Homo-oligomer: A and B are copies of this chain.
Amino acid sequence: MTNEFLFQKIKEKKSFLCVGLDVDLEKIPKHLLEKEDPIFSFSKAIIDSTHTYAVAYKPNLAFFEAYGVEGWKSFKKVTDYLNDRYPDHFTIADAKRGDIGNTAARYAKVYFETFGYDAITIAPYIGKDAISPFLEYENKHTILLALTSNPSAKDFQYSKENDLLLFEKILKLSQQWDNSENLMYVVGATKSESLKSIRKLVPNSFLLVPGVGAQGGSLRDVATFGLNSQCGLIVNSSRGIIYASDKNDFDIAAAEKAKILQLEMEDYLKSAGII
């Protein structure tokens, strides 16, 4: 998917919402546990009920992988469902992978080609070798972890070298790599005070912003400091939407939560003159 197509969808739907599929069998409605594949059944219902309000979906690999081979089967089913049924939605494999060159090339191939994702999240620690193989894919997006939403993000991400914090160095350096137009960045909503300086370093890049809702990030702050003329934001909510209810009405409750966020986003997009 091109950035232009994504922006077009954002304008049509008046939304830059991504729904995170962090499916935990201990949290989903109990009646779904009787299904043949509860992870898929839950994900399918959430996708069907929220697709009007969301422009993107982000299955978190860890939650699938936690169930071993069975979890991987569910991941494949969820992925196929997204591709077949909602090809106009931007799909993100939240994998946070990162490995040296020849291994990175294999990850790129499986997520972009075999599974057909539009984007994948990647950890930057290993450096350019780990990232270039992903950037070679046209109209596919590599979302580098820059500033994560968790408390200990400061342990290493704020390491300072010549007045540049490590995450700022990652933003700056990666912009100089070949095919850097295929880069996006993860910036936690809990770190919205950093969005101003981040926007100076990557004015045109899309930012994937987790941490709104359950983790306490403010959507208003994120929109104020993060929006650019092409929107430039994909804001993710996982738990706040998918676990809105643990009863039979879970999908309706999820849709309601998604709609609330979409309406708020619509306001911000209007205020910024984007729609």
Q: Which residues of A contact B (CB under 8 A)?
A: 22, 60, 62-63, 65-69, 72-73, 76, 96-101, 103-104, 106-107, 109-110, 114-115, 123-130, 145, 148-157, 159-161, 166, 169-170, 173
A62 lies within 8 A of B152 (CB):
no
Q: Which residues of B contact A73 (CB under 8 A)?
A: 69
Closest to A68 in B: B114
Chain B min CB distance to A250 (Å) = 20
Closest to A188 in B: B100
Contact of A155 among B97, B110, B154, B173 (CB under 8 A): B173
Write out the residue numbers on chain B whose beta carbons fall within 8 Å of the beta carbon of A161. Answer: 159-161
Q: A201 CB to closest chain B CB, in angstroms?
A: 15
Q: Residues of B contacting A104 with CB < 8 Å?
A: 62
What are 19 A-B residue pairs whose CB atoms fall within 8 Å in the complex?
Answer: A22-B103, A60-B103, A62-B106, A62-B107, A66-B110, A68-B72, A68-B115, A69-B69, A96-B99, A98-B98, A126-B145, A126-B152, A127-B148, A127-B152, A127-B157, A129-B151, A156-B170, A159-B161, A159-B166
Shortest Cβ gap from A267 to chain B (Å): 29
**Which residue in B62, B101, B103, B109 is a CB contact (below 8 Å) of A99?**
B62
Chain B nearest CB from A2 CB (Å) reads: 26
Which residues of chain B have C-beta atoms less than 8 A from A65's C-beta?
Answer: 106-107, 110
- With A62-B106, A65-B106, A68-B114 already in contact, 13 other A-B pairs whose C-beta atoms are closer than 8 Å: A60-B99, A60-B103, A96-B123, A100-B149, A123-B123, A123-B125, A124-B125, A125-B125, A125-B156, A126-B150, A129-B150, A159-B159, A159-B166
Beta-carbon contact of B154 and A127 below 8 Å = yes
